[in-house]
């Protein structure tokens, strides 16, 4: 069990290091472009959802607002 646990920790560390290298390989312009793309996708899907089921802000209540925050 001890050796298997150590191997698991090492394998997890390798995965994390590889992901970090990939993340740092992006230029600031590439990161900005990707964030703008994600924002555009999120706002377009949110707008589509709002047009499909229009609700007033008062009808949402606190639960609806919290759900909407977690969907982002």
Distance CA 46, CA 55 (A): 13
CA 38 to chain centre: 9
Q: What does each C-alpha distance from 64 to 3, 5, 10, 14, 48 come to in angstroms?
A: 48, 43, 42, 40, 17
Q: What is the pTM of this model?
A: 0.38
Q: How high is the pLDDT of residue 25?
A: 82
How many distinct structural domains can be found in the chain?
1
The per-residue pLDDT string of the chain (72 residues; one tens digit each, 9 = 90 and over) reads: 688 888 888 899 999 998 888 878 888 899 899 999 999 998 887 777 766 655 555 556 788 778 888 886
Residues 6+ apart with CB under 8 A from 72: 42
Q: Which residues form the domain of 49? A: 2-71
Q: Is 70 exposed, middle or buried (0-12, 13-18, 19+ CB in 10 A)?
A: exposed
């Amino acid at each position: 069990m001890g050796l298997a646990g150590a191997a698991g920790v090492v394998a997890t560390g390798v995965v994390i290091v590889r992901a970090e290298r990939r993340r740092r390989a992006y230029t600031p312009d590439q990161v900005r472009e990707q964030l703008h793309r994600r924002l555009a996708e999120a706002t377009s899907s949110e707008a589509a959802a709002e047009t499909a089921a229009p609700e007033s802000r008062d009808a949402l209540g606190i639960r609806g607002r919290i759900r909407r925050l977690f969907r982002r």
